Amino acid sequence: MKTIKNDVQNIVRDMLQGFYFEHKERVYYDSKHHIIYRKDLGDIGQNVVLLSGGGSGHEPAHFGYVGDGMLSIAVSGPIFIPPTPEQILAAIRKADKNKSVLMVVKNFKADVDNFLTAESIALKEGRSVDHILVNDDVSIENDATFNKRRRGVAGTVFVHKIVGAAATEGFSLQKLKEIGSSVVSNLHTLGVALTPANNPTQTETSFTLEDHEVYFGVGIHGEKGYRKETFDSSEKLAIELMNKLKSIYRWKKGDKFAVLINGLGATPLMEQYIFSNDIRRLTQLESIDVRFFKVGSHLTSMDMKGISLSLLKIEDPNWEKWLKADVRVSSW
Amino acid sequence: MTSSIITQKMIAKSLKDLMETETFHKISVSDIMINCQMRRQTFYYHFQDKYELLGWIYKEETKENITDFIEYEKWENIFNQLFGYFYENQRFYRNAFKVVEQNSFNEYLYEHTKNLYLKIIDELSLGFGISVSEEKKSLLASFYSHGFGGTIKDWIQNACMINPSVMSSLMKTMIHDQLILSLRQSANHKVEKR
């Protein structure tokens, strides 16, 4: 398998250095802790600084969302491994002590453990820190329970955008946490893989697929899905994902939604837009009111070919306003 | 022109909407296509006639609501969802059951509920540690699927008088209790034969 890299051990460092060189006009890079943060962090007007992060391999998440209107700080771990509590603590300490820090954390056990460990240390230092756990993944656990997996996946980007925009309006830490938590409870994501991801630090992929097969419900680290079947058409992928999300929302005619079509890493934009067109037609068929529609590779899984569909039921008109607000980041 | 399943769904929705207020026999292909603002010719790219369209709705919607959920959802929830679906679509189905020229509903519902019952039998027999032969499983699944189809039809014909959640609950209890009894008896019978 050919990939554009040098020493595997330095993948994250090399990538972040490259990103920093491109955006050095507006961000700083802490090369020791793998943190990208806003250059103007010291004098932003908002009360709360938004921080996110996680394992690498999901680019542009999360450093691609650092900038005015979204995240202020992003911290990166090794491929598919969350940053350590020390890294996260270093990221929290980038903020002035008089500012509150709100962390957006994807609901994976190791991520939650590390972020909350850092949070408790920061609290002891007298800092004001809190977190939002994103759990939009509605695929199923790999057991007989059929319980939804509830990890944090692509919908996390909507949380960055909405809470990031709200933060610029000066809301308190508590209020922003409430907004974020309310968004999360209306946010669900389901994806389909056409190929597994190749992790350069592993010799084998986490699952295998025949050339003709697709795999519904895989996770962003290659967690198992719920069904493999022969690929037929983009339309059938769209119908499957929409039907499953419909069973969760039980939407009514006229319900308002924001939609995120997310390429999983190696899906050409052409294919993402073909799928988007199918979703457009299905939302029309269901008579749901799509107020915001976003397409692109926003939270990926290395070079996985596939796509995910995130829906956010808009319960507060401000969410739409904040999704549409101008932003100055590299990847929105 | 190549076939599009979403276009087929749009045409299907148009027919279903019209059947809320009009009998199937009074609805023409032109009516269906005017209602969904598509060219009449588009209908014939996808279906031979309105009878084929009706059969397609039976086939597609029973598959999407039953078999496509088998690996994703608990069987109890699939029942809830299924009764909810038929409740919402009851006017269409009451109207459709009068179409004697297209009576494939039973066939498709049977096919997909049988898949569901096979899953239930597998799960329950595994949970209770009972071994059931494939032949027996198929026979039980077949028996209950025929019963389910008849019950659904009667319920719809009777204007869904019983609440869908009550129906679903009744069916779940019935299946669970009776299957456990049957499976235990089957297992006992098997032991005795030895």
Strand order in the sheet with A73-79: A27-30, A35-38, A73-79, A48-56, A100-106, A129-134
Q: Which residues of A touch B84 (CB under 8 A)?
A: 250
Contact A223, A258 (CB under 8 A): no
Q: Is the pLDDT of residue A332 over 90?
A: yes
Choose among B5, B13, B71: nearest Cβ to A235.
B5
Contact check, Cβ <8 Å, B13/A285: yes
- Please tell me whether residues A320 and A237 are part of one structural domain: yes
- Please tell me whether residues A78 and A227 are part of one structural domain: no
Query: Closest residue of A to B60, CA-based?
Result: A239
Task: Kindly state the average pLDDT of the residues A145-171.
Answer: 96
Contact check, Cβ <8 Å, B6/A281: yes
Q: Is the pLDDT of residue B80 over 60?
A: yes
Residues A7-50: tens digit of each pLDDT: 999 999 999 999 999 999 999 999 999 999 999 999 898 999 99
Of the residues A155, A184, A213, which one is the last residue of a structural domain? A184
Of the residues A166, A184, A202, which one is the last residue of a structural domain? A184
Contact check, Cβ <8 Å, A227/B10: no
Q: Is the pLDDT of residue B190 over 60?
A: no
Residue B127 dihedral angles phi and psi, to the nearest 5°: -60, -35
- Please tell me whether residues A175 and A192 are part of one structural domain: no
Residues B129-175: tens digit of each pLDDT: 888 889 988 998 999 999 999 999 999 999 999 999 999 999 888 87
Confidence category of residue B193, pLDDT binned at 50, 70, 90: very low
Question: Residue A47: which CATH number?
Answer: 3.40.50.10440
**CB contact A217 to B (< 8 Å):** yes
Catalytic residue of the set A23, A58, A131, A160: A58
Mutate which: A224, A241, A247, vs B, most B CBs within 10 A: A247
pLDDT recorded at residue B182: 74
Q: What amino acid occupies position A110?
A: A
**CB contact B30 to A (< 8 Å):** no
Contact check, Cβ <8 Å, A140/B72: yes
Give the minimum alpha-carbon distance from B10 to chain A in angstroms, rounded to a whole number: 6
More confident residue, B173 or A285: A285
- Please tell me whether residues A169 and A245 are part of one structural domain: no
A221 is annotated as an active-site residue: yes
Q: What is the extent of the structural domain holding A91?
A: 12-184
> Quick check: is A329 in a domain?
no
Contact check, Cβ <8 Å, B6/A140: no
Contact B145, B110 (CB under 8 A): yes
What is the rounded average pLDDT for all residues in chain A? Answer: 97
Q: Which residues of A touch B13 (CB under 8 A)?
A: 285
pLDDT recorded at residue A327: 97
> Quick check: is A4 in a domain?
no
Question: Residue A261: which CATH number?
Answer: 3.30.1180.20
pLDDT recorded at residue B194: 45
Beta bridge partners of A134: A106
- Please tell me whether residues A155 and A228 are part of one structural domain: no
Tell me if the domain spanning B1-47 has CATH number 1.20.58. Answer: no
**CB contact B134 to A (< 8 Å):** no
Task: Kindly state the average pLDDT of the residues A230-248.
Answer: 98
Contact check, Cβ <8 Å, B73/A278: no
Cα distance between residue A290 and residue A277, in whole Å: 13
Residues 6+ apart with CB under 8 A from B92: B16, B19, B20
Tell me if the domain spanning B58-193 has CATH number 1.10.357.10. Answer: yes
Choose among B5, B13, B71: nearest Cβ to A236.
B5
Describe chain B by its helix, strand, coil percentages, rounded to 5: 75, 0, 25
Domain with CATH 1.10.357.10 in chain B: 58-193
How many CB pairs lie under 8 A apart between chains A and B? 41
Catalytic residue of the set A23, A131, A160, A221: A221
Q: Which residues of A touch B4 (CB under 8 A)?
A: 235
pLDDT recorded at residue B189: 63
Cα distance between residue A88 and residue A133, in whole Å: 15
> Quick check: is A5 in a domain?
no
**CB contact B154 to A (< 8 Å):** no
Contact A293, A170 (CB under 8 A): no
Reported as type and span, the H/E element at residue A191 is strand A187-193
Contact check, Cβ <8 Å, B72/A285: no
Q: Which residues of A touch B9 (CB under 8 A)?
A: 239, 282, 285
pLDDT recorded at residue A151: 96
pLDDT recorded at residue B191: 47
Handedness of CA B72, B77, B78, B84 (dihedral sign): negative
Q: Which residues of B touch A233 (CB under 8 A)?
A: 5
Of the residues A138, A161, A184, which one is the last residue of a structural domain? A184
Residues A193-202: tens digit of each pLDDT: 999 999 999 9
Residue whose pair of structure tokens reads 């919908």 in the numeric block? A155
Residues B30-77: tens digit of each pLDDT: 999 999 999 999 999 999 999 999 999 999 999 999 999 999 999 999
- Please tell me whether residues A149 and A213 are part of one structural domain: no
The candidate with the shortest Cα–Cα distance to A184, out of A157, A165, A166, A164, is A157
Looking at the structure of chain A, the number of domains it has is 2
What is the rounded average pLDDT for all residues in chain B? Answer: 91
Choose among A144, A233, A285: nearest Cβ to B10.
A285
pLDDT recorded at residue B187: 64
Q: What is the pTM of this model?
A: 0.95
More confident residue, A169 or B101: A169
Query: Closest residue of A to B11, CA-based?
Result: A285
Residues A201-238: tens digit of each pLDDT: 999 998 999 999 999 999 999 999 999 999 999 999 99
Q: Is the pLDDT of residue A132 over 50?
A: yes
pLDDT recorded at residue A10: 96
**CB contact B6 to A (< 8 Å):** yes
> Quick check: is A331 in a domain?
no
pLDDT recorded at residue A208: 95
Q: Which residues of B touch A227 (CB under 8 A)?
A: 71-72
On the CB side of A147, CA atoms within 13 Å amount to 7
Choose among B6, B72, B74: nearest Cβ to A278.
B6
pLDDT recorded at residue B186: 67
Percentage above 70 pLDDT, chain B: 94
Q: Which residues of A touch B5 (CB under 8 A)?
A: 233, 235-236, 239
Domain with CATH 1.10.10 in chain B: 1-47
Q: Is the pLDDT of residue B183 over 80?
A: no
